[in-house]
A and B are shown apart, each in its own frame.
Chain A
């Protein structure tokens, strides 16, 4: 099989991460998501919680500065370490699934890239988050909005492109329509077709 890189962008609560993990299992390839946090934590000596704090987070513009490509922002440096990590894996020819990390843009030059954006209806996402984190409806909604705002700002800062804009991805899919399992089945077929075409 030629190289396949599945990039999964996602709205919070849409089940994007679960979908990414299921796809990795079906294609028997690794998934880089939590792994990226562990890897950075090992390299930096930060705790997982600290890396989590800076992970996929936009930097504070007022508290940071960039000089000749160098940035004092820990968020920026962690993001760049993650971009370098996935870029290295891609350059080595490895096949993998990567969740977020602007991967649809950062890995655009690789022929084997299949970029997916998973979205969902607000009601469905809210219900999912209420169950997962044991939150009230208002709290779940607020959390979704907060997380998505953070992801959008992070993505747009590092790529200069609009997060969730369908033109950035090969396929944008609403996971509420088919449910998580149905979405995975559908995407599996699509990816198989892409692999066939690449071969």
Chain B
């Protein structure tokens, strides 16, 4: 093993440990480690200015492919498409939140089902999954959990089962599309997949799993869901009205239209050939233009820490990629599976799930994309099957523990702050089995459909 490889591995391991230990904010960790990768691995050990330029990937912006993509292509280094898309969607989501869209939607649905506990439970789960297909799960859960607690206090039911189910469905919904969960955006933009590719592959697995999950959660939570007040005579006059959630009718209409445009652009991007980077940028621009004076406030609310975290992360992972470490890992997986497609698929799915249950699934996915590329190249295994295994594994595995995915942290935190603390025991008792069920369904799905 050469010096470059040793340093690349050390930097990567230190970065991962520091993210887990959470002593220093994670964006500083990845940026610092990214800088070390450039200086120590690329400049000092490899003496390669070319690798540095490839990793920084600034030239991507100047290529037509980056904005308008007719043929599928794979990217290297910093995945700017992911970063621009996530930033663009953040701007849009901030605009929607400011206009009161999410709260309005939650209350509207609660009214549609006449504020009855079981129907709210089912519709909120489905809404959580559907919204998470297009919007980051943190935002979805932040609003859903808050409204769930508000309704629970008024309707006298325990909100914890509902919040746990919403968290799970948000992660499940996120796995269904290219823009639903950051690992999918990374997989999609790195390997040149479209929104529709995800929807027709991981989306079907998520859809089947959702049906099972609704029944599972109804079964395990049925006792907790029985309202203290008779379900039949809910006094809806005490409940907040959906229209009160709308802070400005004009902003509400504009943000709803922009969201609609975003969904249409994403669904049709394989036909229009617009890349997710173009869509992200376009959506951000129209949100900012229509926001007028409020644009600065929206820009300030963008989560820059996450954007910086991504930039540093991609550089560190490039260190492993450029030094050939990820090929070692791919060869190792290829060897232990003996070239058997079923074993390889299962390893990628279950190892991704296990890792994502305990560590941030974004660095994991970013690292695994080049691994599955190498694995496919060396064994002849179909890359798309491995990609779906990786996506489903990272997205679903994260649901198993309270720290596995961002939605879990936000949901349990909102619950705790409102007087409903959810510890590891309570969380894992219900969601770890649900995760195993979905992983089992996904394994069967992958085997039957692709192998």
**Chain B residues within an 8 Å CB radius of A62:** 20-21
- Does A77 contact B413, Cβ atoms closer than 8 Å? yes
- Does A43 contact B419, Cβ atoms closer than 8 Å? yes
Flag B404-419 by CB within 8 Å of A: 1 or 0 each.
0010111011101101
- Choose among A44, A46, A67, A81 the residue with the greatest number of B CB atoms under 10 Å from its CB: A67
B328 within 8 A of A: no
Flag A63-87 by CB within 8 Å of B: 1 or 0 each.
1111110111010011011000000
A47 to chain B, nearest CB (A): 12
- Does A77 contact B416, Cβ atoms closer than 8 Å? yes
Flag A33-56 by CB within 8 Å of B: 1 or 0 each.
000000000011110000000000
**Which residue of B has the minimal Cβ distance to A40?**
B419
- Does B421 contact A67, Cβ atoms closer than 8 Å? no
**Which residue of A has the minimal Cβ distance to B26?**
A66
**Chain B residues within an 8 Å CB radius of A44:** 416, 419-421
- Does B419 contact A45, Cβ atoms closer than 8 Å? yes
**Which residue of B has the minimal Cβ distance to A63?**
B424
- Does B413 contact A45, Cβ atoms closer than 8 Å? no
B388 to chain A, nearest CB (A): 26
Interface size classification for chain B: 20 to 34
A61 within 8 A of B: yes
- Choose among B23, B303, B360, B417 the residue with the greatest number of A CB atoms under 10 Å from its CB: B417
**Chain B residues within an 8 Å CB radius of A63:** 402-403, 424
- Choose among A46, A67, A72, A78 the residue with the greatest number of B CB atoms under 10 Å from its CB: A72
**Please, how many angstroms separate the alpha-carbon atoms of A127 and B410 in the complex?**
45
**Please, how many angstroms separate the alpha-carbon atoms of A74 and B424 in the complex?**
10
- Does B22 contact A74, Cβ atoms closer than 8 Å? no
Interface of A is mostly: mixed
**Chain B residues within an 8 Å CB radius of A70:** 409-410, 413-414
**Chain A residues within an 8 Å CB radius of B416:** 44, 72, 74, 77-78
B423 within 8 A of A: yes
B276 to chain A, nearest CB (A): 22
**Please, how many angstroms separate the alpha-carbon atoms of A49 and B404 in the complex?**
28
A36 to chain B, nearest CB (A): 15
B354 to chain A, nearest CB (A): 16
**Chain A residues within an 8 Å CB radius of B409:** 65-67, 70-72
**Chain A residues within an 8 Å CB radius of B306:** 68
Interface size classification for chain A: 20 to 34
**Chain A residues within an 8 Å CB radius of B305:** 68
**Please, how many angstroms separate the alpha-carbon atoms of A46 and B412 in the complex?**
15
Within 8 A of A (CB), among B13-43: 20-23
B371 within 8 A of A: no
B298 within 8 A of A: no
B138 within 8 A of A: yes
**Please, how many angstroms separate the alpha-carbon atoms of A45 and B426 in the complex?**
15
**Chain A residues within an 8 Å CB radius of B412:** 72
**Which residue of B has the minimal Cβ distance to A60?**
B424
Contacts A62-B20, A71-B409 given; does A45 touch B403 at CB 8 Å: no
A101 to chain B, nearest CB (A): 17
- Does B410 contact A67, Cβ atoms closer than 8 Å? yes
Flag B81-112 by CB within 8 Å of A: 1 or 0 each.
00000000000000000000000000000000
A141 to chain B, nearest CB (A): 29
B164 to chain A, nearest CB (A): 12
**Chain B residues within an 8 Å CB radius of A67:** 138, 406, 409-410
Contacts A70-B409, A70-B414, A72-B413 given; does A64 touch B421 at CB 8 Å: no
- Does B420 contact A45, Cβ atoms closer than 8 Å? yes
- Does B420 contact A71, Cβ atoms closer than 8 Å? no
**Please, how many angstroms separate the alpha-carbon atoms of A74 and B422 in the complex?**
7
**Please, how many angstroms separate the alpha-carbon atoms of A64 and B403 in the complex?**
6
**Which residue of A has the minimal Cβ distance to B415?**
A77
**Chain B residues within an 8 Å CB radius of A72:** 402-403, 408-409, 412-413, 416, 422
- Does B20 contact A68, Cβ atoms closer than 8 Å? no
**Chain A residues within an 8 Å CB radius of B303:** 68
Contacts A67-B138, A72-B403, A72-B408 given; does A80 touch B21 at CB 8 Å: no
**Which residue of A has the minimal Cβ distance to B413?**
A70
- Choose among A61, A70, A74 the residue with the greatest number of B CB atoms under 10 Å from its CB: A70
**Which residue of A has the minimal Cβ distance to B406?**
A67
Contacts A61-B20, A68-B410 given; does A77 touch B403 at CB 8 Å: no
**Please, how many angstroms separate the alpha-carbon atoms of A77 and B423 in the complex?**
11
- Choose among B22, B403, B413, B419 the residue with the greatest number of A CB atoms under 10 Å from its CB: B413
B141 to chain A, nearest CB (A): 9
**Chain B residues within an 8 Å CB radius of A81:** 417
**Please, how many angstroms separate the alpha-carbon atoms of A63 and B422 in the complex?**
13
**Chain A residues within an 8 Å CB radius of B413:** 70-72, 77
- Does B419 contact A65, Cβ atoms closer than 8 Å? no
**Chain A residues within an 8 Å CB radius of B402:** 63-65, 72
**Please, how many angstroms separate the alpha-carbon atoms of A49 and B306 in the complex?**
38
Interface, chain B (partner A; CB < 8 A): 20-23, 138, 303, 305-306, 360, 402-403, 406, 408-410, 412-414, 416-417, 419-424
Please provide the 5 A-B residue pairs with the shortest distance between their CB atoms, ordered closest to farther.
A70-B413, A77-B416, A65-B403, A72-B402, A67-B409
Q: List 30 A-B contacts (CB under 8 A).
A: A44-B416, A44-B419, A44-B421, A46-B421, A61-B22, A62-B21, A63-B402, A63-B424, A64-B402, A64-B403, A65-B360, A65-B402, A65-B403, A65-B409, A66-B22, A67-B406, A67-B410, A68-B303, A68-B305, A70-B409, A70-B410, A71-B409, A72-B403, A72-B408, A72-B412, A72-B413, A72-B416, A77-B417, A77-B421, A78-B421
Interface, chain A (partner B; CB < 8 A): 43-46, 61-68, 70-72, 74, 77-78, 80-81
